[in-house]
Amino acid sequence: MDATQNPWQTLDSEVRYENNWLSIRHENVITPAGTPGIYGVVSFKNKAVGVIPIDAEGYTYLVGQYRYALNEYTWEIPEGGCPVGTDMLESAQRELQEETGFVAAKWTKMARIHTSNSATDEEGFIYIAEDLTPGLHAPEETEDLQLLKTPLSEAVQMVMDGRITDSISMAGLLMLARLRGI
């Protein structure tokens, strides 16, 4: 058997919970070992999009906010949701402006990631935004944000010492540091 083929068999699937942002499915399955089992899948109605803004001096900007689901304050790159079927770059541009006030003239798509592929189908996209022009930020009503200007090397250190734990931020900052030889 080809190792890239799906060894799972879905017997039935039922949405057990749904809201504007996600749905949770309960599925009865036959496992790769041929035994009966169950699987729960969280499906998001948005793609995740993260942006690493880099200014002319090489600084980046992090967003601090209290994350309800974690019950803790976090630092992360500007990020948000892109409704399925809408333009990913436009969503990245919107998130950057909403959360930081910046508009960027240069955009580079850096990565596609799966945030937690054992229980969710969420995929994220990470962009680098450069040639920044400052402006007014307009966070959503659920956001109470702080903005931190920091050298990229310090943001990477924040990943390494556990001050940044968000998976999209970690992946993006470490990838960019590797690309830039930091």
Task: List phi, psi (to 5°) of 14.
Answer: -140, 130
23 neighbors 45 (Cβ within 8 angstroms): yes
Whether residue 125 is contained in a domain is answered as yes
pLDDT, residue 2, reads 80
pLDDT, residue 163, reads 97
The one-letter amino acid code at 43 reads S
CATH number at 79 reads: 3.90.79.10
Residue 81 scores a pLDDT above 70 = yes
Give the number of domains in the chain: 2
Q: Do 39 and 103 fall into the same domain? A: no
Digit-coded pLDDT (tens) for 6-38: 999 999 999 999 999 999 999 999 999 999 999
Whether residue 1 is contained in a domain is answered as no
Whether residue 79 is contained in a domain is answered as yes
Whether residue 3 is contained in a domain is answered as no
Domain range holding 34? 9-44
Q: Would you list the DSSP string of 3-39? A: TTS---EEEEEEEEEE-SSEEEEEEEEE-TTS-EEEE
CA–CA separation, 122 vs 22, rounded Å?
A: 10
Confidence of residue 149 (pLDDT cuts 50, 70, 90): very high
pLDDT, residue 121, reads 92
Whether residue 139 is contained in a domain is answered as yes
Whether residue 152 is contained in a domain is answered as yes
Handedness of CA 48, 92, 97, 160 (dihedral sign): positive
124 neighbors 50 (Cβ within 8 angstroms): yes
Q: What's the average model confidence in pLDDT over 144-163?
A: 95
Digit-coded pLDDT (tens) for 99-126: 999 999 999 999 999 988 899 999 999 9
Q: Do 19 and 109 fall into the same domain? A: no
Mean of the per-residue pLDDT values of the chain = 93
Q: Do 94 and 153 fall into the same domain? A: yes
Q: Do 145 and 84 fall into the same domain? A: yes
pLDDT, residue 1, reads 61
Whether residue 126 is contained in a domain is answered as yes
